[in-house]
Chain A
């Protein structure tokens, strides 16, 4: 089983819709969690950290479910500029492990 697993997509979503991604992780001792955004042929950029209590940043909401070992990212009122690959990142044993990413395309 991979340490961090994501549905690679692609997700093609109309503008204004709500879209959600999940990511599962295998190490129950994982300590911190993040979502990154990566545009085509660019470097990954930190989108948000994921806290046990869940957190929200504008249209983006991230949640952590330790019991089921998954994290989620919800994007509301999606914009064309949200088109990117979203990478789930898990910190276990002080090492950041990336998922393969979920590709999202927002359609006008």
Chain B
């Protein structure tokens, strides 16, 4: 079946603009995660959604970052007033209820703030 998809694949924006990044998880996956990977670095946890529970937002670096998950499926990560240090690859992952440990990653969105 289809894997996790993300759009856009690349986004170039000017400093100060807002951006929205989209994630479509694998159908039926109840858990959805956002991570950030800066150049040559590991993956940094941002936010985690599980079903109808309140999201775990403990990894969001500032109040400029927010995320929504509508209808328990698609998620949107929004970065307001982008800064150059926001430049990174933003990765989304999802996992199932039956196999909730394994996380399957999307291809990522490469964000460049100029």
Do A and B assemble together? no
Chain B residues engaging chain A, CB cutoff 8 angstroms:
none
Chain A residues engaging chain B, CB cutoff 8 angstroms:
none
